Amino acid sequence: MRTERISIRQFAWMVTVLLVGTSLFTLTRQLPRIASQDAWLSYILPAIYAFAVAALFSMLAARYPGKNIFEIAREAAGRWAGGALNGLLIAHFLLIAIRDLKLIAFFSQSTLLGATPIEIILFLLVLATVYYASLSIEDHARVIELIFPFMVLFTLITPFLLTGDMNLSRLEPFLVVHPGRLGMSSLIQAASFGDLLIMGAFLHTLARASAIHVALRKGILISTILLTAILLLIINVLGEDLASDLTYPAFTMIEQLQLTDFLDRLEIFILFVWVPFATMKSVLTFAAILYGLSSFFGHRSMNRFHIPLGLLLLFASYFSFDSVIDVFAFSMLPNVLNQAAVQIVLFGILLLAVLFRRTAGSSNDTDHASPGLVRTTALLLAAAAILLPALFLAKTHAWVGDACALGYVCLLLLAFASSYSEVREVKKIE
């Protein structure tokens, strides 16, 4: 079996593609519907939850070095139970791939390819996905490395290009939403962060468990910052009412970009990044399914089943989700239940198997509680804790809401900076 290796940075950026990829089109509309102008604060609990998943992955990778989640499941839970678990994971990933492909197809049809039938767009997307499957995961990582800087660059320059359309009063008063509503929007976003499970299929691409841990945490924090920034901008530019009424508020926001009179279709350039960014999420999901299928036969080949699976994906996505509203509706409570069921079963069985089976190889990673790791986690928890007093006091004391929102942003940025120093620490050890 050829050993596939990618860097910590590539792994982290793959995580970002998975977490941001299609959230950009779905939840930027749905979250303001639930948590009004405070929807941009819905990412902190999902980030904490994703940190917990990263810790579980790291623990499994430390116990079963050089193996992906499918191989770990078969080794830990045995041939039959592990096989059933892998079947469940493959079905789950297939549903994610179908949802994402259909969403990208609907989005492309309504923004770029108005006259093209949906099945032809799906066909082209599946063709690209199947082509990528004939390559290796290292190639996927390199393509993501090409797109990712543009994604960050556009997110960074958008506020400067939209200064004329921004109005801070659309975000105010801060933290006056009912805590239950903020909790619900966080839960829905957390389910979207559940797509992190797909990274389990690529655990074998990094040699050390500590490297996997820091890469996952770095990717989660980049995604949290990017999504927070984008939703903050959407509400700041469009307002919560318009953001929740429009089909694609993120697209409408970038439509407002204008540099000069002759450069007023800047959104086309941004779509050149957004659409491949989202498509790469489907590519990674497809690769994960292929790894899952090949794990039944004891190898890690992506190009054994890619064509038949591509055809299945094409027709399954053609018949699933009649409209984009169906995709949006599925991304809410149904996704929460779906992710919860799969993750409870998967991690429950794996943890039990790890606890009761002592046959697996133990790790030589002793840096699980490195200072950087503790610092980043503490900063993230502090960012969540700082919101609590404001949720109860901001209605009567607006300044508490303002101060806590500012503190939240500062702590989130500090946690992000801390995750970079974590990576440096691990690289030094390596």
Partner 1 sequence: MNPLFMLLVPLLFLGAALWGFGKLKEAGRGERLLAGAILGVSLFLYLCAVLDYEPWMPNDLYKRLAIWFQHSYIEES
Instruction: Residue 325: count other Cβ atoms within 10 Å of its Cβ.
Output: 11
- We find the least distance from the C-beta atom of residue 344 to partner 1, in angstroms, to be 17
Q: How far is the C-alpha of 284 from the C-alpha of 290, rounded, in Å? A: 10
Query: Which ranges of 134-257 would DSSP assign to H, the alpha helix?
Result: 137-161, 179-193, 209-238, 240-245, 249-255
User: Which part of the chain contacts partner 1 (CB under 8 A), choosing from 56-64, 167-175, 252-260, 291-299?
Assistant: 291-299
Among 244, 277, 238, 334, which residue's Cα sits nearest to residue 155? 277
Tell me the per-residue interface mask from 169 to 188 with partner 1, x by CB under 8 A, - otherwise: ------------x--x----
Amino acid at 108: S
Give, in order, the Cα–Cα distances in Å from 209 to each of 55, 185, 370: 10, 32, 13
96-155: contacts with partner 1 (CB under 8 A): 98-99, 117, 119-120, 123
Whole-number minimum distance, CB 57 to partner 1, in Å?
26
Determine if 308 is a binding residue for partner 1 (CB under 8 A). Answer: yes
Applying the rule CB under 8 A, the residues between 197 and 226 that interact with partner 1 are none
Build a one-symbol-per-residue string for 322-361: x at contacts with partner 1 by CB under 8 A, - elsewhere: ----x--xx-xxx--xx-----------------------
Separation between Cα atoms, residue 16 and residue 28, nearest integer Å: 16
Among 110, 156, 315, 417, interactor with partner 1 by CB under 8 A? 315
Q: Report the C-alpha gap between 265 and 112 in whole angstroms.
A: 12
304 interacts with partner 1 by CB under 8 A: yes
CB of 41 to partner 1, least distance (A): 17
- Rounded distance between C-alpha atoms, residue 390 and residue 175, angstroms: 6
Q: Nearest Cα to 69, choosing from 248, 214, 162, 205?
A: 205
Distance in Å, CB of 373 to partner 1, minimum: 37
Of 11-19, 39-47, 75-83, 94-102, the segment contacting partner 1 by CB under 8 A is 94-102
Residues in the chain: 430
Which stretches of the chain bind partner 1, using CB under 8 A? 30, 33-34, 91, 94-95, 98-99, 117, 119-120, 123, 181, 184, 293, 296-297, 303-305, 307-309, 311-312, 314-316, 318-321, 326, 329-330, 332-334, 337-338
